[in-house]
């Protein structure tokens, strides 16, 4: 169950980071509420996941997959560009996260 919660936390992390860019473009106080709310949800889910997963493992998975997800989201929603070298390093992050999960004790 902790890994499912961590997966949801990763998703909210991606949504949070992308909502920051969106809110900056909209530039209204109402738009600022979304990233703030997602930030609280995100941290709460991460803390909940850490009840069943070691903190270092949970944080490594959360930040690694969050970073890759934000890059992909930036490409899809904001037209960000990524070169082949960057894609290779993104793949290394995913490999590291899979290895971290595979060898985790929880």
Terminal Cα distance for the chain, rounded: 10
The total number of structural domains in the chain stands at: 1
pLDDT in tens, 46-63: 999 999 999 999 999 999
* Mean pLDDT to the nearest integer, 63-83: 96
Q: Is 47 left (phi over 0), alpha (psi -120 to 50) or beta?
A: alpha
Task: Give me the domain span that covers residue 47.
Answer: 2-102
The radius of gyration of the chain from alpha carbons, rounded to an integer in Å, stands at 15
Per-residue confidence at 83, pLDDT binned at 50, 70, 90? very high
pTM for the structure as a whole = 0.89
What pLDDT is stored for residue 40 in this prediction? 97
């Amino acid at each position: 169950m902790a890994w499912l919660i961590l997966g949801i936390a990763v998703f909210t992390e991606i949504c949070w980071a992308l909502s920051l860019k969106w809110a900056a473009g909209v530039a209204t106080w109402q738009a600022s509420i979304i990233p703030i709310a997602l930030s609280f949800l995100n941290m709460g889910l991460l803390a909940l996941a850490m009840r069943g997963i070691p903190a270092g493992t949970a944080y490594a998975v959360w930040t690694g997959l969050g970073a890759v997800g934000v890059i992909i989201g930036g490409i899809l929603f904001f037209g960000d560009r990524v070169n082949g070298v960057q894609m290779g390093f993104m793949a290394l992050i995913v490999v590291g996260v899979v290895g971290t999960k595979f060898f985790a004790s929880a």
